[in-house]
Amino acid sequence: MKDKICVITGGTEGIGKATAFGLATRGAKLLLHGRDPDKGARAVADLISRSGNSSIAFLQADFASLADVRRLAAVIRERTPRIDVLINNAGGINGTRLESKDGYEMTFAVNHLAGFLLTHLLLDTLQTGTPARIVTVSSNAHRGAKMKFDDLQATRGFSPMSAYGMSKLANVLFTRSLARRLQGTKVTATAVHPGFCRTSFGRDVTTSGLVKLIFQFVARFARTPEKGAETVIYLASSPEVAGSSGGYYFDRKLAPVSPTAQDDDVAERLWKASEQLTGIA
């Protein structure tokens, strides 16, 4: 990975930061996205200190705003002539229904639409030069989810886990559609389940008592962020998966997905809806 240029969204804490450290120690040049400039500065300083790699920079953007996603893409294109790896890692869960600056349900907007738009805007840069990889962090939470095309914005009976599961299903379907569109190019797309990790994930669900209790219980058995990042790093760097595209991985192995996640009709319907919602149709 020496001198490979890697963009990591949500790269200032948790799995994203652990991924950044792993790639930094391998000699990659990193562009880390985050929402908080102060946290970003601290993360960069810590990563440089621990890895000895000074080629790490922070880029600020709020993924609750599609305009900010567009601005981030423009900044990245200005800073680098190519991208070797794009890791769509940013995401979260909300205890109550919130809306993004564009009026979309926040979980769906941040976990899916932001990454969908950023990937679209960076495709030309990814296709420049050497083979490139797109890795999207999903979750096994997709397994019990359905794409509610009649209510993508969860305006009826909002459930934190239902909204999260649908957004993670969207990640897998997006990867499937993207891989199909990238056939014949030097760019691959894969999705990953990092496992449930001890991070700040879920800290904002305090208004939902049941969900909060669930997180507190399962956190006792959670993985470290470093363990969760292992397969992300593997998909970003390993020659074993060079040229592999469209797969969903867990613990460095291909893993099964839900029947809905294998449905190309659903994937295409989501792609078209995402194009409309992000304004790139």
Catalytic residues: 164
Question: Residue 12: CA atoms inside 13 Å, Cβ hemisphere, count?
Answer: 18
- Beta-carbon contacts of 63 under 8 Å, excluding residues fewer than 6 positions away, are 9, 35, 69, 90, 109, 110, 114
Of 61, 157, 64, residue with least CA distance to 103: 64
SS (H, E, C) 187-245: EEEEEECCCCECCCCCCCCCCCHHHHHHHHHHHHHCECHHHHHHHHHHHHHCHHHCCCC
Evaluate whether 156 touches 108 at the Cβ level (below 8 Å): no
Q: What is the rounded CA–CA span in Å between residue 168 and residue 92?
A: 10
The per-residue DSSP string of 99-113 comes to B-TTSSBHHHIIIII
* Burial group, residue 214, by CB count within 10 angstroms (0-12, 13-18, 19+): middle
Q: Is the dihedral of CA 136, 137, 143, 147 positive or negative?
A: negative
Tokens of 221: 């058995």
φ, ψ for residue 74 (rounded to 5)?
Answer: -65, -40
Residue (of 230, 200, 227) closest to 215 by Cα position: 200
